[in-house]
Amino acid sequence: MSDFLSGKRIGPGPIQPETTITELIDSMFEAYNAARLREACHLFAGKMLADDVTVGVSLTGALTPAGLGMSCLVPLIERGFIDWIVSTGANLYHDAHFGLGLSMHRGNPQVSDVLLRREGVVRIYDIFFDYEVLLSTDRFFREVIRAPEFQKRMSSAEFHHQIGRYLAQREQIGKRAGKSLLAAAAQYKVPVYTPSPGDSSIGMNIAAEALEGNQLFLDVSRDVNETAAIVLAAKRRGGKSAVFILGGGSPKNFLLQTEPHIQEVLGIEGRGHDYYLQVTDARPDSGGLSGATPEEAVTWGKVEADGLPDAVVCYMDSTVALPLITAYSLANHPPRQTKNLYERLPEMMEDLKGEFELDKKGSQERRH
């Protein structure tokens, strides 16, 4: 018989009322993107969550407004399954609504937007919320960033850590613990970055305060170096680096460019990320980064060629895939010890600088 027929024979049993999430995914997700989702669950729970693997997650698309922050990302953070995050600013802005106790509602996307505007209702497809939610969240950010600890140049990780601490306080006052992604990230020392600080309502509020003399400045160069330092530290300590990409866009590239920054720009010897998992609805043939495959990423040094067998792309909506991957991983992997990367950033940055200076000196000596 051909070796190509060595795969498990397809023949799932009937789904029963007592069927578990593990049985459903392992036994009933047999083909097409269901099979890719099964492979994603196995990769995440079976390899990416090993103790020596540092897991970076990127967030694109309106995930937190749909409740995926509190339902999926917070539980993953609490169990040590996420070590660092790159997100759009919009996801972090909308995350704050829940920490502040502001409400989002299910809605009908067929309703007239002219009527919604007249009623003071804003929508994100089928998520509806009062316009006052935006104004209240804007007031929170404007008030907080006037505090003394924000009057300086800082990385977006430091900024989000401080914001998360304030949101955690609001959660405690309102007895809403576990609602905010940023609050959980601050508690578990998970650094959170945004590659385009000005491209969100958070950035707009920072810009407005700057007009009144606020000294807050988000240092994107520090973000680039800190994220590279995180990946370099994972490898230098004998571990591996994994990327879990939800959507695409700028956060995807910011997560992946850590390796080209290490190898190509800083000249430090390195290899690409070891594990690659992406959920996307973008096609590869349009040339956009969102749909770019892990094979293409190998040519840039973003992904290690030997890691391609451990690369999975699911072509589906993140709002479908993430809850299933979360439920599967919680059911099949014990909690990991948190890596507390936020507290270790100064140490990792010193290591990055040390290697950069050493390689730079060696390169100069070779030229002479």
Could you tell me how far CA 282 lies from the centroid of its own chain?
A: 17
Amino acid (one-letter) located at 102: L
Instruction: Let me know if 302 is a catalytic residue.
Output: yes
Cβ neighbourhood burial of 136 (10 Å; 0-12, 13-18, 19+): middle
Place of tokens 């995180």: 230
Question: Which of 179, 240, 252, 302 is an active site residue?
Answer: 302
Show Cβ contacts of residue 137 under 8 Å, excluding neighbours closer than 6 positions. 93, 96, 97, 100, 102, 201
What are the catalytic residues? 302
